[in-house]
Amino acid sequence: MTHFEKQIDTSTVYEGLIVNVRMDNVELINGKQVKREVIVHPGGVAIVPVTNDNKILMVRQYRYCVGEEIIEIPAGVLEAGEEPLNCAIRELSEETGCTAGRLIDLGAIYPSPGINRETLYIYLALDLQAGEMHLDDDEFLSVEAIAIDEIFDMIMENKIRDAKTIVGIMKAKNILDGLNGGNNG
């Protein structure tokens, strides 16, 4: 069976700085009509930057929406017309000051597909060169280099709950284990 919902009509109920919210009327496969709230987001990137001594550069910052300081991989929002790879290069430089000799595409995810149209592109950044951070005016964060096995433990202990970080670390660990013969700690 193919599952599908047909959009009947749509209206924008909110226009924000980054996201818009729509209310769609849709028809279900059984013919019933229902409403769907949709957050329209431009998409973004997340980067797993690996230092030459096999540590991951993580950023620690306060996240207003969840009301706490969290540790996560560097990430940012796509600008209009920007390619995800270019956004990853820009965000890595802004948040860590680093440039990568190699960026490996780890794929894209839908962080919350039940309500949000955001697509998040994840990259593994290798062969890092240090430089100067240049944060946005409203961005306050610190960078920490942490062993991937320690980050994995933090995920399993529920100390890291950020979805993009969990997915990025899991995918990166798989690649790094292959590159390093399972020796990444």
> For each of the chain's 185 residues, which pLDDT tens digit applies?
788 999 999 999 999 999 999 999 999 999 999 999 999 999 999 999 999 999 999 999 999 999 999 999 999 999 999 999 999 999 999 999 999 999 999 999 999 999 999 999 999 999 999 999 888 888 899 999 999 999 999 999 999 999 999 999 999 999 998 877 655 55
Alpha helix (H) ranges present in 24-162? Answer: 84-96, 148-156
pTM for the complete prediction? 0.92
Phi first, then psi, for residue 147 (nearest 5°) are: -60, 140
166 with 120: CB under 8 angstroms? no
The single residue listed with the structure tokens 């047909």 is 6
pLDDT of residue 182: 58
pLDDT of residue 137: 84
Query: Which residues have C-beta within 8 Å of that of residue 58, sequence separation ≥ 6?
Result: 71, 72, 73, 143, 144, 145, 146, 151, 165
pLDDT of residue 36: 97
Q: Which helix (H) or strand (E) holds 79?
A: none
Is 88 strand, coil or helix?
helix
pLDDT of residue 135: 83
